[in-house]
Chain A
């Protein structure tokens, strides 16, 4: 089975979202089904972990973040067909740069704001000083 884009895709790169095709339609649908199954499993685990008292409570936020990142990976691989192959190098590099900025924005904001929160005088005292 071909997706009909080979004629224009003889380059070594592949478009983001395009699948490197070897199998037939059945195999492609199976790929999406595997992705759906894994995603459902991870989502269900997230919702279960959030509401349970079976595990040590302080570990729950970490577990939720790990599960979310794992599910994003599943979506990237099975739905967006981002692979580690050479034909995907440009797509992965762009993604890596995007994630770097995302981490800097989120991590940096949380760090700076927590720091300010700790070092700033409480608001009522600040108001008193201005009188």
Chain B
């Protein structure tokens, strides 16, 4: 060590100023941070849909309101499936860190099944609403409802395609550093969808059926 770095290190014994000179952030941090920014901007986009829904909540144009349309038991089951899938996605992350291919594929497959169960319930809800004449064209309230909840559903569908891709990539290429980075981004995406769903079931269904 040169005298200069010696003095610098000694003057900062608790490494408050990061005397180690760690250099640029690793690719893992840069990639995940960039994806984190994307997720936050996605949440900003959702916030616009939430604002639209909240403003148009009472604009039913003589059509059915949320209280008449929503089946909260169905929503509770949907919520349970998505929450469980978030948990098994966490287990898949742990399995990937432990480089355990078998546990990883099992956890991802279970996550996929829960995600598909969620989507099936949502699709049946949409179909039954349209069949009862409460489609997106019925009122401003229903337009806002289908846009917001449908947008979340599209995100979950995209997440399931990504999930299957990751299962295939781990199967074919193993836990390489680049695959691990993609897995980290996928986990961020999947957990973020669950966070948005908390807002959806609270604002759209629970508050929406109280009006």
Give chain A's interface residues, CB within 8 Å of chain B.
1, 3-5, 8-18, 25, 28-29, 32-33, 35-36, 39-40, 43, 46-47, 50-51, 60-61, 64-65, 67-68, 71-72, 75-76, 79-80, 90-91, 94-95, 97-98, 101-102, 105-106, 108-110, 113
Contacts and interface: CB of A to CB of B under 8 A. Distances in A.
A8 B27 contact: yes
A14 B177 CA distance: 16
B202 A67 contact: yes
Given A46-B202, A64-B202, A11 B29 contact: yes
A17 B189 CA distance: 10
Interface residues of B, number: 59
B200 to A, nearest CB: 10
Closest 8 A-B residue pairs measured CB to CB?
A98-B40, A109-B51, A15-B32, A3-B97, A68-B202, A16-B36, A102-B47, A8-B26
Contacts of B47: 101-102, 105-106
Contact of A110 (B33, B54, B98): B54
Contact of A15 (B29, B192, B201): B29
Contact of A14 (B29, B97, B198): B29
B22 A12 contact: yes
Contacts of B187: 17
Contacts of B41: 98
Given A10-B22, A64-B202, A94-B40, A5 B28 contact: yes
- Counting chain A CB atoms within 10 Å of each CB, the highest count among B27, B36, B187 belongs to B36
Contacts of B87: 32-33, 35-36
Contacts of A29: 91, 94
Interface of B: 18, 20, 22-23, 25-29, 31-33, 35-37, 40-41, 43-44, 47-48, 50-52, 54-55, 72, 76, 79-80, 83-84, 86-87, 90-91, 94, 97-99, 177, 180, 184-185, 187-188, 191-192, 194-195, 198-199, 201-203, 206-207, 209-210
Given A11-B25, A64-B202, A75-B86, A106 B33 contact: no
